[in-house]
Amino acid sequence: MIGKYEIERVESGIPGFDDLIQGGFPKGTTVLVTGPTGSGKTTFAVQFVYKGAEMYNEPGVIVTLEERAQDLRREMKAFGWDLEEYEKKRMIAIVDGVSAVVGIPSEEPFVLEGNINAEDFLRYIYRVVKSINAKRLVIDSIPSIAFRLREESRIREVLLQLNTILLEIGVTSILTTEAPDPSRGRISKYCVEEYIARGVVLLDFVEKGVELKRYLLIRKMRETKHSMKKYPFEITEEGIVVYPSGEVY
Ligand SMILES: Nc1ncnc2c1ncn2[C@@H]1O[C@H](COP(=O)(O)OP(=O)(O)OP(=O)(O)O)[C@@H](O)[C@H]1O
Ligand SMILES: [Mg+2]
């Protein structure tokens, strides 16, 4: 159709997921992945960057603020994802945001120093993204930015700045956060995260007999037609798999 506005989509690399959002995230968008502990936020986020490099030839940056880069690499190997292989090719860069804070020396190529302010933090991320020409970015997690900066009260301002920078560089980003109580509508820790993000994906559990089952809900995705249904997903040996035709009771 002439003149029709076509939105460029970025495929997530998560089987079943893109079918729910018209083929992928709108390019350049910032998506919040939220959920309680153990719901799969880190796996979802890393899969996005890893598959981005492996399947779509797109460089990506992972800023890890909850676990050291080496621990993340090891954990992700369980899914058959060899992050190091792509780091060597400069397709993936992992920013270690933990070692300096806990006082462990780090030999990582990208390390966030212990005592930095919000501006330095944002500048550093910008630099790393540019250095490998990243198209994808993950920050895991927002609450640990706040904690790390030791200025939690400034988190709203910092997130707004972060959002502006991300929009300007045009990377498609996943930010993770804690959902204190999704069933009562509290889906992000500081509340501001869900407003700055152009998309919100909730990962959560539902009780099914004596078992907890995982489900995913797309709470918002701008420029995208999506349903508000809960979809079952699993964390398998190959990472997250979503079942678009499955039912959650
Ligand atoms: N190799 C694996 N195969 C299958 N399931 C796994 C595997 N590794 C982890 N899991 C599942 O994934 C869960 C952890 O997922 P993940 O670390 O992505 O969650 P998270 O939401 O980031 O948690 P946190 O709040 O602790 O950061 C584990 O509790 C486990 O149930
Ligand atoms: Mg995590």
pLDDT tens track for 172-189: 999 999 998 888 888 998
- Percent over 70 (pLDDT), the chain: 97
CA of 169 to the centre of ligand 1 (A): 30
Banded model confidence at residue 150, pLDDT cuts 50, 70, 90? low
Residue 165 maps to a domain? yes
- Asked whether the bond before 141 is cis by omega within 30 degrees of 0, the reply is yes
CA of 20 to the centre of ligand 2 (A): 23
Residue 204 maps to a domain? yes
How far apart (Å, rounded) are the C-alpha atoms in residues 77 and 16?
22
DSSP per-residue letters across 32-83: EEEESTTSSHHHHHHHHHHHHHHHH---EEEEESSS-HHHHHHHHHTTT--H
pLDDT at residue 3 is higher than 60: no
pLDDT at residue 5 is higher than 80: no
Residue 234 maps to a domain? no
Ligand 1 atom closest to the Cα of residue 236 is 4
Structural domain total, the chain: 1
Q: How many CA atoms lie within 13 A of 77 on its CB side?
A: 8
pLDDT at residue 154 is higher than 70: yes
Ligand 1 atom closest to the Cα of residue 37 is 25
Residue 249 maps to a domain? no
Instruction: Write down the mean pLDDT value for the chain.
Output: 93
| Segment 131-148, tens digit of pLDDT | 999 999 999 999 998 877
pLDDT at residue 87 is higher than 80: yes
42, 63, 64: which to mutate for ligand 1, most atoms within 8 A of CB?
A: 42
Residue 218 maps to a domain? no
Q: Supply the range of the domain harboring residue 129.
A: 14-208+223-229
pLDDT at residue 105 is higher than 80: yes
Task: Return the higher-pLDDT residue of 61 and 144.
Answer: 61
Cβ < 6 A, ligand 1 pocket: 35, 37-43, 66, 78-79, 235, 237
Structure tokens, 58: 């797109």
Residue 235 maps to a domain? no
Which residue puts its alpha carbon closest to atom 16 of ligand 1?
40
Find the ligand nearest to 36 CA: 1
pLDDT at residue 126 is higher than 90: yes
Residue 27 maps to a domain? yes
- The confidence score (pLDDT) of residue 4 equals 58
How far apart (Å, rounded) are the C-alpha atoms in residues 238 and 249?
25
- The confidence score (pLDDT) of residue 1 equals 45
According to DSSP, residue 191 is labeled S
Ligand 1 atom closest to the Cα of residue 75 is 8
CA of 180 to the centre of ligand 1 (A): 18
Ligand 1 atom closest to the Cα of residue 78 is 1
CA of 66 to the centre of ligand 2 (A): 7
Residue 127 near residue 65, CB atoms below 8 Å:
no
CA of 73 to the centre of ligand 1 (A): 14
CA of 40 to the centre of ligand 2 (A): 7
Task: Return the higher-pLDDT residue of 54 and 187.
Answer: 54
Q: Which residues crowd ion ligand 2, with CB under 5 Å?
A: 41-42
- The confidence score (pLDDT) of residue 183 equals 85
Among 200, 196, 198, 155, smallest CA distance to 182 is for 200
Instruction: Give me the CATH number covering residue 176.
Output: 3.40.50.300
Tell me the three state secondary structure of residue 133: coil
pLDDT at residue 152 is higher than 50: yes
Residues belonging to the chain: 249
Residue 236 maps to a domain? no
Mean pLDDT of 44-70: 98
Burial class (CB in 10 A: 0-12, 13-18, 19+), 103: exposed
Find the ligand nearest to 240 CA: 1
Please report which residue ranges of 95-154 form alpha helices under DSSP H.
99-102, 118-131, 142-149
How far apart (Å, rounded) are the C-alpha atoms in residues 132 and 58?
10
